[in-house]
Amino acid sequence: MTNEMTYREAVRAAIAEAMTKDDRVFLMGEDVGRYGGCYAVSKGLLEQFGPERIIDTPLSESGFTGAGIGAALGGMRPIVELMTVNFSLLALDQILNGAATLRHMSGEQFNVPLVIRMATGAGRQLAAQHSHSLEGWYAHIPGIRVLAPATLEDARGMLWTALQDPDPVLIFENVMLYNRAGKIAEDAGAVDITRAAIRREGSHLSLITYGGSLWKTLGAADELSREGVEAEVIDLRSLRPLDEETFLASVRKTRRAVIVDEGWKSVSLAAEISSRIMENAFWDLDAPVERVCSAEVPIPYPKHLEDAAIPQVPAIVAAARATLGAAP
């Protein structure tokens, strides 16, 4: 049996399930209660669980993220929602200097079982302070796990598994996915958060991506298929740690790789993956690795410029053709 639901509803169902199953779980963030969440993810949860567990916070990202860390140290299992990745920069001190380091700094006496969710990515014409993809920055930091659910199943299932982790987990929800609807098994539940997934099998090249870019990459693979090129599409799912084994095995098989990453190209997650391919699969490659990333510009407001700034299907197809030695 399957249910029809949106990505937003899948995240909401995951939160509701976690709160029902574990009294220690609570949700805290800006406008998560009375407003229903900036992206309406937590709509209705206040009525269901009450203000003690669905906590509207003041606009104090560092304060309430730090409070989430403290509450986790104190025996709770907080879910902190940061409205967007850009706002998370106001909490970066707590995330990096606190959550990510406490286990190490304390000689493993303390750990921080905290989940932080936030919206990321461009596409809604929200301009240069609401649209960036900084998950690659967070993936730089030892001591935190970074997840990017791209599918309904992952939106529904990653949260519970993340809450079982004794250490901090950041979940990045691409804003363009919230309205995405589809069928999902009625009994959908917790999923693994350690492995990348092969979303489409193919033998001619590997397209490696995550989050909001997954669907564009699958679109590009369909277009390539019409030309007789069968692309394998890897959804990284976990950005830290990276499931190197899965994408390297794919690259060794197809001998060609294109990385699609909504972060800026310079010093990006795509750069990291490319490096790992060079280090581990260089002799298996038949062509240089290609990258499709965001243009080196803050995300512009006008639709045509915003679209041009981030990875799109034609650019992915062109990069794929380039690795195959075809004219772009």
Partner 1 sequence: MTEAQSNGKLVLSREHVLNLLREMIRIRRFEEKCAELYTLEKIRGFLHLYIGEEAIAVGVMEALSPEDAVVATYREHGHALARGISMAAVMAEMYGKQEGCSRGRGGSMHIFDAATRFYGGNAIVGGGLPLAVGLGLADKMQGHSRVTTCFFGEGAVAEGEFHESMNLAALWNLPVLFACENNYYAMGTALQYSESETDLKRKAEAYGMTAHSVDGMNVVDVERAAREAMAHIRAGNGPVFIEFRTYRFRAHSMFDAQLYREKSEVEEHKAHGPIKEFRSWALETGFVHQADIEEIENEVAAEVDAAVAFAEAGTWEPLSDLTRGVGAEAT
Is there binding between residue 328 and partner 1 (CB under 8 A)?
A: no
**Alpha-carbon gap, residue 321 to 225, rounded angstroms:** 12
From 74, 73, 69, 75, select the one nearest 22 (Cα to Cα): 75
x/- letters, 116..155, toward partner 1 (CB under 8 A): --------------------------xxxx----------
132 labelled catalytic: no
Count of Cβ atoms closer than 10 Å to residue 150 Cβ: 26
Is there binding between residue 76 and partner 1 (CB under 8 A)?
A: yes
Is there binding between residue 31 and partner 1 (CB under 8 A)?
A: no
State which of residues 1, 52, 187, 304 lies at the interface with partner 1 (CB under 8 A). Answer: 52
Is there binding between residue 20 and partner 1 (CB under 8 A)?
A: no
**Alpha-carbon gap, residue 250 to 109, rounded angstroms:** 39
Is there binding between residue 74 and partner 1 (CB under 8 A)?
A: yes
**Alpha-carbon gap, residue 249 to 41, rounded angstroms:** 36
**Alpha-carbon gap, residue 263 to 246, rounded angstroms:** 21
CA distances from residue 271 to 48, 86, 100, 149, 171 in whole angstroms, order as listed: 44, 22, 23, 21, 21
Near partner 1 in 222-261, by CB under 8 A: 240-241
- Say which residues have a Cβ less than 8 Å from residue 305's Cβ, sequence separation at least 6: none
State which of residues 16, 40, 48, 70 lies at the interface with partner 1 (CB under 8 A). Answer: 70
Active-site hit among 9, 30, 61, 306 = 61
Q: Where are the beta strands (DSSP E) in 107-193?
A: 115-120, 145-147, 169-174, 181-185
Q: Is 87:69 a contact under the CB 8 Å cutoff?
A: no
Is there binding between residue 64 and partner 1 (CB under 8 A)?
A: yes
Stretch that binds partner 1, among 2-10, 12-20, 123-131, 162-170 (CB under 8 A): 162-170
- Which single residue is written with the structure tokens 């041009």? 308
Stretch that binds partner 1, among 12-20, 94-102, 181-189, 214-222 (CB under 8 A): 94-102
State which of residues 67, 259, 309, 317 lies at the interface with partner 1 (CB under 8 A). Answer: 67
State which of residues 33, 66, 136, 311 lies at the interface with partner 1 (CB under 8 A). Answer: 66
61 labelled catalytic: yes
**Alpha-carbon gap, residue 219 to 212, rounded angstroms:** 12
Interface with partner 1: number of residues (CB under 8 A): 44
Is there binding between residue 105 and partner 1 (CB under 8 A)?
A: yes
Structure tokens at 24: 């220690």
Q: Which helix (H) or strand (E) holds 6?
A: strand 2-6
Least CB distance to partner 1 at residue 86 (A): 17
Is there binding between residue 106 and partner 1 (CB under 8 A)?
A: yes
Q: Residue 103 or 255: which CB sits closer to partner 1?
A: 103
Active site residues: 61, 130
Residues that bind partner 1 (CB under 8 A): 26, 52, 57-58, 60, 62-76, 78, 93-94, 97-98, 102-111, 142-145, 165-167, 240-241
